[in-house]
Structure 1
């Protein structure tokens, strides 16, 4: 059986890796348009190994993230990849947030996670500079070098006999009853089964293959700062606010990375390109895709105030610092230096709803991963098992 995987991020590589493990006679090809693996969402995230606190019990995110946090730690340990199980604090900074915090605690318990409610004094035992009225300590949260995970997955998969093509952009797909032909800039690939893990371009790839996706990818830029090196001591691990349950975004937070740097963010604003890592990156096709999509306008009508808040914070380092200071009062605007941004591929339905769960569509001899933002990196090894179990043998 011949399999072609489109997309060389962590989900695509993990899927190819699982295929060569489970089906040693399979012929697997991975195509990636960039010159390196994990160039986009994988290589621009905060490096967190999520525990699975936020996700609806029984959802794909809840089940795959919980299992994935364990399998990712195991994979990193086995292959000598930088990682650490640090735990994290989710904190309520005023009394009004306590009902949401306690509801989140109940959800975490329903997901079977190692969590504890902590008061202000105990919270400061973990994070001496934190401010809160109450918090949740999540023991199984960690951090990892996901770029290194991608490199190792590619190495193992190629050694097992798969064909991996970088600098190979997909230009067209012809899907028949018995086989699929993927046209690329490095030649055609004929396969029996297609797996679409194209991330920011997953809906476009699905349409190329004759699939009508139930949602459209809209790019949101996640903007980060870092703490100056002499201010990194303000954060020991990970400090998060209580999230707004209406949104998949977790709010600006503080994360000590595997290299010791402390990232602050992300803010979330609409990007003007699917790979729009800066305000100046504008791609007319991507702007038109978003502007002509009724689902985005419906979303904007529902959540205009939230969007304005994010834009204001994007334009003002002072506002960004104020958001962080709610968590750690010692943080000031002078402590922040710009860091690399990321772009989240967020699927939105025609009715203007954010697709909250992973969205994986199987049709005939094709599987399309149409929504896999955070915690996809954490969950990637388990997403790969889920996909592979649904592929023809």
Structure 2
């Protein structure tokens, strides 16, 4: 192995897991993580539901299915080793309408093929035994689906990288990556006027993965189309009405799981997220925000318009829920009727980096491209946080030295 210095671009949980994996395998290699924010886990890692997925949803044989199953176990053990929050409060995926039963049966087969531990199908009466305030015709119970604190995990990984001799440089945005003359080394240019000369670069740029990847390899596709996921916080008087998690049966046409109820490790209960087109890739406020460059990039992509023509009805419904708490709760109350609009308040939001192909297809699986000197994580949506330690091993296995 000839490389002696590696730059990892992105200080989210995937980037930090990759950096940690490199330091563990190759103690003599210099590793530098470059993060544009003043803290790690500032973007997708710090704005999600905190769920550790058990692998119910993912196409058997896909990279998602493989790395989620492996990653869940690695993450569970990591949290135990470092005394980090990890609560197997369990999940119910509930069918509430007879028209959902075909999708429900297919989901059960997918989960079984993926070897989801402890999964069982339960009846209407059994739903009440697990979640007394939930209703439905039938449910899949996943007892080993858990919740955790991904920001705390990311911070611990960053500490490990530094303890192993690596660097985590904050407030350092990468503006360009290019070859050093005719040599094999790479130059990583930052907005601080620094140039890092390295042998390998790993791009884990999340919401900016398409832009940075294009600068490195010239590939314009797939393009990131950001989706904003808004959360509602259940007020203290009703937050104990859900013991773990209550999810709908997802629509297989979309890589989103639908609005659900999720407990948080720090206490409390949230409803969400929805999936609304984001016009700011980093807009996490309670209300949507427009960043002209991001909006223009989305609207200029042919794949966006092809996707929009196919799924506009769903988009209208999601926007309606974004504008009205009552409309947002209308679907959620089908699963937990006792929690209504008067029992919630607007909380924060996350933004999901969803890769969209030029033909308008929503890319569902992880996409990791390895070339000479550069490895690019081009699509890593949920369950990337669950899978982060397994993704890291996969990336390092395939780096071209």
Task: Give the TM-score, by structure 2 length.
Answer: 0.96
- Of 324, 327, 331, the residue aligned with 2:335 is 327
1:175 Cα offset (Å): 2.5
Q: Which whole-Å CA distance do the structure 1 matches of 2:88 and 2:273 have between them?
A: 21
After TM superposition, give the deviation of residue 284 of structure 1 in Å: 1.1
2:369 partner SS: strand
- Aligned pairs for 1:1-393 (under 5 A) are 1-114=4-117, 115-176=119-180, 178-186=184-192, 187-278=194-285, 279-393=287-401
Secondary structure (helix, strand or coil) at the match of 1:55 reads coil
- State how far apart, in whole Å, the 2-side matches of 1:255 and 1:151 are: 23
* CA-CA distance at 1:213 after TM superposition: 4.2
Q: Using a 3 Å threshold, how does the CA distance of structure 1 residues 368 and 213 change in structure 2: closer, same or farther?
A: farther
Which deviates the most, 287-296 or 171-180?
171-180
* Mean CA deviation greater in 377-386 or 211-220: 211-220
SS across alignment from 1:15? helix
Q: Distance in 2 between matches of 1:217 and 1:189?
A: 27
Superposed displacement of residue 173, structure 1: 1.6
Distance 2:218 2:329 in 1: 44
Deviation of residue 172 (structure 1)?
1.6
Q: Which runs of 5+ in 1 are unaligned?
A: none
Residue 388 (structure 1) shift: 0.4
Helix, strand or coil for the counterpart of 1:135? strand
Deviation of residue 280 (structure 1)?
4.5
Number of residue-to-residue matches in the alignment: 393
> What is the alpha-carbon root mean square deviation over aligned residues?
1.0
Q: Is the 8 A contact 2:370 2:400 kept in 1?
A: no
Q: Distance in 2 between matches of 1:227 and 1:290?
A: 33
Distance 2:210 2:129 in 1: 46
How far apart, CA to CA, are the structure 2 residues paired with 1:140 and 1:385? 23
8 Å Cα contact 2:245/2:262 also seen in 1:
yes
SS of corresponding position for 2:261:
strand
TM-score by length of structure 1 reads 0.98
